[in-house]
Amino acid sequence: MSLFAFGDDDLAGLAARHGTPAFVYSAAVARAGLQRLRAALPDRVRLAYAVKANPHPELLRLFADLGASFDCASEGELRRVADLAPGRVFFAGPGKRTAELALALEQGVRVQAEGWEDLERLDALARAPVAVNLRVHPAAGVAESNRIIGGVGPSAFGVDEEALPEVLPRAAALAHVRVRGLHVFAASNERDAAKLLATHRMVLDLGRRLTQEHGLTLEQIDLGGGLGVPYAPDEAPLDAGALGRGLGDLLREHAWFQGELILEPGRFLAAPCGVYLARVVRTKESRGARFAILEGGVNHLLRPLLTGQAFPVRAVGRDGSTASTTLAGPLCTSLDRLGTVDLPDLRPGDLLAFGTAGAYGFTEGMTHFLSHPVPPEVWVA
């Protein structure tokens, strides 16, 4: 599986036509990725693309046309998908403003309540019965411990599992709001299907317990996102087939649950279709280290700074022997580094391609910092 959505000739052509730095997205790769995942999953698993990964309008339109639902986390995201997929939208997020909750109600969006305050405010806004999902912060089994989800410690997300005996009876007494689903998001960039399934099993067990102990009727169990992608050639891709088979087994084991499971992958569906292109502005040696200074850096690809993980990179149309090179961006800070990697001897004007850059790229960047030009996003249909 290539980490780059385009071959070198195409990338050189796109860079020449649209200028650099730029993000380029392949519709073909995005389409194939969604279709492959859909085919691997049981019918009773709904796919809701997490818009935050990449909200490019053409990508959203493509996924909507292929039948996807959408996971949104802001008014802006809700508005982006409102006309594309009416009735197929979820609204999550730990800090929903009251105006956003009102918009979600108006649009018939299924809200993932993050706590008692969301339930209470929704109830005050609603004029008719409204079904919501309740996000739970589990006490154990979270398959991610550091940066994105935050492990099992204190969390801004969801209702702590141990607080449910207090929150659920209060929720049951509300006039309009009905808890009809659970939402647990407990993994991030996980490529091991077995680990994802272990978390999903924990969520279904929790659902069974809450059904038995609190008389909940669960129409939906939302398992969140977190399906991982490789960022390096030696990383194995997630086995979507194994994930699908495992979810099928879980549905059979949990026959008490006749509703639908929801998966909200963002990265898995968007990352592979994107490449970030930037040219080398200058090179330098400094005290034994080789630097290439590029047109763009963490202002466009913030992820290496946030997570310490680099994007895969190659020098387009260049091969030959390689040497360790530190890739610096144009910002006036030593934080602006896209990684230290083995690359051929670079020259000013050389084109670098960063693969797997379709998710958490353009809109996660700091495109206004230092007033550099905002890179175009090119959709290759």
Ligand X SMILES: Cc1ncc(COP(=O)(O)O)c(C=O)c1O
Measure the CA–CA gap between 252 and 200, rounded to whole angstroms: 13
Distant-in-sequence, close-in-space partners of 306: CB < 8 Å, separation ≥ 6: 147
Measure the CA–CA gap between 353 and 8, rounded to whole angstroms: 9
Which of 332, 334, 368, 381 is an active site residue?
332
Measure the CA–CA gap between 360 and 95, rounded to whole angstroms: 20
- Footprint of ligand X on this chain (CB under 6 A)? 50, 52-53, 71, 92, 185, 188-189, 224-227, 264-268
Token pair 């019918």 is found at 43
Residue showing the smallest CB distance to ligand X in the complex:
225
Shortest distance, CB of residue 326 to ligand X, whole angstroms?
28
Is 332 one of the annotated active-site residues of the chain?
yes
Measure the CA–CA gap between 68 and 46, rounded to whole angstroms: 8
Q: Report the residue number, 264 or 295, with the smaller CB distance to ligand X.
A: 264
Measure the CA–CA gap between 95 and 92, rounded to whole angstroms: 9
Nearest to 295 by CA among 248, 357, 338, 257: 338
Shortest distance, CB of residue 71 to ligand X, whole angstroms?
5
Shortest distance, CB of residue 142 to ligand X, whole angstroms?
13
Q: Report the residue number, 289 or 306, with the smaller CB distance to ligand X.
A: 306
Shortest distance, CB of residue 189 to ligand X, whole angstroms?
6
Shortest distance, CB of residue 110 to ligand X, whole angstroms?
12
Q: Is 243 helix (H, G, I), strand (E, B) or coil?
A: helix
Q: Report the residue number, 130 or 196, with the smaller CB distance to ligand X.
A: 196
> Which tokens belong to 261?
């499971």
Measure the CA–CA gap between 337 and 340, rounded to whole angstroms: 8
Burial class, 266, CB count within 10 angstroms (exposed 0-12 / middle 13-18 / buried 19+): buried
Burial class, 134, CB count within 10 angstroms (exposed 0-12 / middle 13-18 / buried 19+): buried
Alpha carbon separation from 89 to 33, 79, 111, 359 (Å, rounded): 20, 11, 9, 20
In DSSP terms, 255 is beta-bridged to none
Q: Report the residue number, 114 or 336, with the smaller CB distance to ligand X.
A: 114
Shortest distance, CB of residue 370 to ligand X, whole angstroms?
27
Shortest distance, CB of residue 350 to ligand X, whole angstroms?
31
C-alpha dihedral sign at 182, 188, 191, 192? negative
Exposure class string for 274-307: b at 16+ Cβ within 10 A, else e: bbbbbbbeeeeeeeeebbbbbbbbbbbbbbbbee
Strands 274-286 and 289-294: antiparallel
Shortest distance, CB of residue 143 to ligand X, whole angstroms?
11
Q: Report the residue number, 105 or 149, with the smaller CB distance to ligand X.
A: 149
Q: Report the residue number, 92 or 167, with the smaller CB distance to ligand X.
A: 92
Q: Report the residue number, 158 or 329, with the smaller CB distance to ligand X.
A: 158
Q: Report the residue number, 73 or 126, with the smaller CB distance to ligand X.
A: 73
Q: Which residues are catalytic?
A: 332
